[in-house]
Amino acid sequence: MGSQRAAGTVQAPTRRDWLALAVVSTGLGMIVLDGTIVGVAMPEIISDLGLDLTDAQWVNSLYAVVLAALLLSTGKLADRWGRRALFIAGLVVFVAGSIFAAAADSAGPLIAARAVQAVGAAMIMPSTLSTVNAVFRGKYRAAAFGVWGAVISGAAAVGPLAGGALTQWASWHWIFLVNIPLSALVFLGTILTVPETRGENTRPGADVDGALLSGIGFGTLVFAIIEGPELGWWTPKADLEIFGWVWPATAPISIVPIALAIAAVTLVLFVVWERHRERVHRSALLDLGLFRLPTFSWGNITAATVAVGEFAIIFVLPLYLVNALGLDVMGAGLVLAAMAIGAFLSGASARHLAERFGSAGTVLIGLALELVGVVVLAVLIQGTTPGWLVAIPLIVYGLGLGLASAQLTGTVLRDVPAATSGQGAATQSTVRQVGSALGTAFAGAALSISLAITLPSALSQAGITGDAAGSLAESTRQSAGTTITQLRAEGTSSPLGDDTSTAVDALATGFADGTRWALLVASVFLALGLVAALRLRASARAKS
């Protein structure tokens, strides 16, 4: 069996090993797909279920928050209980969450179902990467990670197109129901091809306290960023009600800075606690010793900052394409599919570039292309920009995405011992999920804050002023732009009468301006990722 490797030797993978790689990559691709397929359907979900901008952020972000909170724990469980066993259990939970999400009829049940999906995804994700890390060694490992990374980048890029097709030709419910047949195929393939592997478990105990501290820290951090624009960053702007408990708008301080303080304290305590577990030789959730590996440390910083930029783009662009430009869901999916075109083109050539420039050098090239694509996109977008023009910089962005995704994972984990591959894989997945949650949160916050400025300004320039203009701008901001689509559909029969067309054009311009600011926030994080990638390349060269 492919998992049985003699110490000190590197055996060629068997055909079954390569089939197992295809199965686990498909399983993870399904998880990545689910993280991006929702984006293009979001305008339709907002309209159908009556969500506001904060609800929409939580539909996207809670998935990533729960993943981030659980991945370290499930990575440890995968090492201890068996990676294939946890992978199979995760598929079952993920399908259950998908069914609940498809049946949701309001914001609460949909957000809860996304949390269930995330629990399943958290069981699947570290199991896939650690299985690849354990089964493939030596020169075969780089090729395996290349395949694994290409599947991920392809799934992430295809998500918007799949979401658009399913939403327009069936309904948004099918973006979740499609997971049922996909999971069934992956389940069968896992039983037939994937070997069971485990990590070495030489220390006693379960790090429950570490799991709680990491979950609270990551969860409160994302909560604060998402809710800041609505609840107030310092002075309360609205009541917060959670399970009957209310933090009133009359309180002397908003709950947001308190949540940020809790996040900071708990994450510091988490690091201190993990060091304590190491000193007393107890099983720890996070092997801090891995961060002594320069490629692991800089690779994770790169992965986190890049994920912030990537998911910021995935969140804001569908809202802009559907609401500001007036494209239908399928049209938006086709524009966003430009990323897939770029990712597929570059994914095939990533291995050849890696042979010339090294894996870390290829990551650097990819990030540079991503940054160029986003900056050009931010410059181009207006309230009347044609969709085909938006697609051009997205192709460039996709080229970079394919190169960076295909090579980054293998570079991060290349020096991680096989015995701790579960923890290493879970750590990398965790930082990416924290980054993706923060990406949606930062983009949503930037969009909300900027729309509060750009929408009233655009309406004023169009000659629409007074209380009616203020109310119109606020409803557009709260609905994440859905108000524009509604006014466009109503035409002169709307309450604005003959001024409807003027208002729609002004709101589209204001929404485009707000989207530009969100994209610039994404570009800042991509630039930080580029700096980290430079250090990653230097570390990889020093290790060679």
Which of 195-199, 348-352, 362-366 has the largest mean confidence?
362-366
Is pLDDT at 12 greater than 70 in this prediction?
yes
* Per-residue pLDDT tens over the stretch 42-78: 878 888 888 877 787 778 777 777 777 777 777 777 7
For 151, 307, 416, 462, the CA distances from 156, given in Å and listed in that order, are 9, 11, 26, 39
Percent helix, percent strand, percent coil in the chain, to nearest 5: 80, 0, 15
Whether the Cβ atoms of residue 429 and residue 124 lie closer than 8 Å to each other = no
What is the average pLDDT across 291-309? Answer: 85
CATH topology (fold) of 15-195+283-452+513-543: Growth Hormone; Chain: A; (1.20.1250)
Q: What is the reported pLDDT for 516? A: 93
With a CB cutoff of 8 Å and minimum separation 6, the contacts of 449 are 229, 517
The β-bridge partners of 242 are 245
Which token pair is 108?
Answer: 């609460």
Average pLDDT, the chain: 82
Give residue 13's region: left, alpha or beta (phi > 0; psi -120 to 50).
beta
Which of 219-233, 347-361, 507-521 has the largest mean confidence?
507-521
Mean pLDDT is lowest, of 139-143, 289-293, 456-460, 525-529, for 139-143
**Separation between Cα atoms, residue 120 and residue 467, nearest integer Å:** 47
Is pLDDT at 443 greater than 70 in this prediction?
yes
**Separation between Cα atoms, residue 390 and residue 382, nearest integer Å:** 10
**Separation between Cα atoms, residue 430 and residue 270, nearest integer Å:** 14
In the chain, % of residues over pLDDT 70: 90
The β-bridge partners of 246 are 241
What is the average pLDDT across 411-440? Answer: 73
- Residue 300: what are its φ and ψ, rounded to 5°? -70, -40
In 3D space, the residue among 65, 77, 71, 72 whose CA is nearest the CA of residue 115 turns out to be: 65
Containing 495, the helix (H) or strand (E) segment is none
Residue 246: helix, strand or coil by DSSP? Answer: strand
With a CB cutoff of 8 Å and minimum separation 6, the contacts of 353 are 361, 362, 365, 403
Mean pLDDT is lowest, of 348-357, 358-367, 386-395, 488-497, for 348-357
Is pLDDT at 377 greater than 90 in this prediction?
yes
* Per-residue pLDDT tens over the stretch 510-530: 999 999 999 998 899 999 989
Q: Quick one: 283 exposed, middle or buried, by C-beta within 10 A (0-12, 13-18, 19+)?
A: middle
- Residue 514: what are its φ and ψ, rounded to 5°? -65, -40
Q: What is the reported pLDDT for 421? A: 66
With a CB cutoff of 8 Å and minimum separation 6, the contacts of 363 are 302, 403, 404, 407, 408, 411, 533, 536, 537
3-state secondary structure 3-23: CCCCCCCCCCCCHHHHHHHHH
Residue 247: helix, strand or coil by DSSP? Answer: strand
Radius of gyration for the chain, computed over Cα atoms and rounded to the nearest angstrom: 23
**What is the DSSP annotation of 417-430?**
-GGGHHHHHHHHHH
Whether the Cβ atoms of residue 242 and residue 186 lie closer than 8 Å to each other = no
**Separation between Cα atoms, residue 400 and residue 478, nearest integer Å:** 33
For 172, 328, 341, the CA distances from 169, given in Å and listed in that order, are 9, 11, 22
Whether the Cβ atoms of residue 477 and residue 57 lie closer than 8 Å to each other = no
Q: What is the reported pLDDT for 543? A: 66
* Per-residue pLDDT tens over the stretch 14-39: 888 888 888 888 888 888 777 667 77
With a CB cutoff of 8 Å and minimum separation 6, the contacts of 189 are 19, 22, 23, 26
Q: What is the reported pLDDT for 7? A: 43
Which token pair is 200?
Answer: 């070495």
Which token pair is 283?
Answer: 């099983």
Is pLDDT at 242 greater than 80 in this prediction?
no
* Per-residue pLDDT tens over the stretch 306-320: 888 877 887 788 889
Q: Which residue has the higher pLDDT, 161 or 264?
A: 264
Domain residues of the chain, as ranges?
15-195+283-452+513-543, 205-282
**How many residues belong to the chain?**
544
